[in-house]
Amino acid sequence: MKIAVSACLLGEKVRFDAGHKHDHFITDELGKFASFVTFCPEHLAFGTPRPTVRLVNVEGNTRVHSNKTGDDLTNTLIHTSRDELSKLENEPLCGIIFKSKSPSCGMNSAKMYLTNGMSDGKEDGVFMAMCRERYPLLPMEEEGRLQDAWLRENFVMQLFAFDKFEQFKVSQPNLGDLVRFHTVHKFLLQSKDEKLYRELGNIVGNRESLSFEVLLAMYELGFKTAIGRKSSIKKTRNVLDHLAGFFKKELTKSEKETLREQIDDFANKLTPLIVPLSTIHLYAKKYDTRYLLDQTFLNPYPKTLALRSHIDGGK
Ligand code: SF4
């Protein structure tokens, strides 16, 4: 899996002061499962070290001004941002991680100023805005937001699901494969967006006998949109209730009660998601419930990332 990352987050000394903002979750955890492509439009434009720049709202247009001289540097930064974007376009990306608050890389977190120096809210950085337009369905986050356990879990799940779909696409699938793909993603999709899950089911049903190419393109759009939605405790709880329902006949009364308590404790933020999920996993193995064991919701990404072990992982 390939992820594009702001170079300074990988420890490259490309910030205005020749420093970096090494993010160890990205390099040490995600790095076990992904390779990185880096970008730094400001280093390319102005070298390192360099005077800082800011975004300025000039009559409704976003401009880039030097903090030192006030010079308008917009065109230079746009030029190198386009170069960096062209570099990314040659890569089979599964996601992008941006440095927060930067006038180039910030994701709705770059400060905008008025020409009189007053603050004018927050916007996408110049390069980030280009990426957002170019890749509307690609998983994207900024490192600041990834400190939040819930956003981090959602993003990592999205990355791995996106990668799965890309692998599926190049495997020359047929309609039967698409039905299977949809089936194993049932609970993951439901934990994101129940309505979209049903719409995807209708696409796979192909009542209008569309060609497989058209069907796959429609499915891709819906699937990538759905995995970009955030899960919630309520939606996850619904999924857990469904999963627990698979063992209605097998479990004793007290086993059912214990599982119910674990689900309640998760919904009340007393225990992390991993607790009821481990129990469900155990029963799925014990009773060889293949349908559940195949569900990506049970293993959406490598378990060593341990993102479901935090109480804050649900909202
Ligand atoms: S935030 Fe973006 S532009 Fe700034 S140093 Fe990092 S990679 Fe370069």
The one-letter code for the residue type at 236 is T
Atom of ligand 1 nearest to the CA of 21: 6
Distance of CA 308 from the midpoint of ligand 1 (Å): 30
7, 97 contact by CB (below 8 A) = no
Residue closest by Cα to atom 8 of ligand 1: 40
CA of 38 to the centre of ligand 1 (A): 10
In the reported structure, the alpha carbon of residue 102 is separated from the centroid of ligand 1 by a whole-number distance in angstroms of 7
Which pLDDT belongs to residue 265?
96
Mutate-to-test residue for ligand 1 from 5, 8, 85, highest number of ligand atoms within 8 A of CB: 8
* Probe residue for ligand 1, chosen from 37, 43, 52 as the CB with the greatest number of ligand atoms within 8 Å: 43
Q: Is residue 260 predicted with pLDDT exceeding 90? A: yes
pTM greater than 0.85 (yes/no)? yes
Q: How are strands ordered across the β-sheet holding 61-66? A: 61-66, 53-58, 110-114, 119-123
Predicted pLDDT at 200? 98
- For a mutational test of ligand 1's pocket, the pick from 3, 5, 6, 130, i.e. the residue with the most ligand atoms closer than 8 A to its C-beta, is 6
What spacing in Å lies between the alpha carbon of 20 and ligand 1's midpoint? 9
CA of 157 to the centre of ligand 1 (A): 25
Query: Measured from the CA of 15, which atom of ligand 1 is nearest?
Result: 5
Q: How far is the CA of 54 from the centre of ligand 1 (A)?
A: 13
Which atom of ligand 1 approaches the CA of 105 most closely?
A: 2
How much distance in Å is there from the Cα of 145 to the middle of ligand 1? Answer: 16
Percent of the residues in the chain that have a pLDDT greater than 90, as a whole number: 96
Report the chain's mean pLDDT, rounded to a whole number. 96
Tokens of 244: 């627990």
Task: Convert the pLDDT of each residue in 86-145 to its tens digit.
Answer: 999 999 999 999 999 999 999 999 999 999 999 999 999 999 999 999 999 999 999 999
Instruction: Give yes or no for residue 312 having a pLDDT over 90.
Output: no
pLDDT one-digit tens code per residue, 20-36: 999 999 999 999 999 99
User: Distance between alpha carbon 107 and the CA centroid of its chain, in Å?
Assistant: 13
Residues with CB under 6 A from ligand 1: 6-8, 14-15, 40-43, 99, 102, 104-105
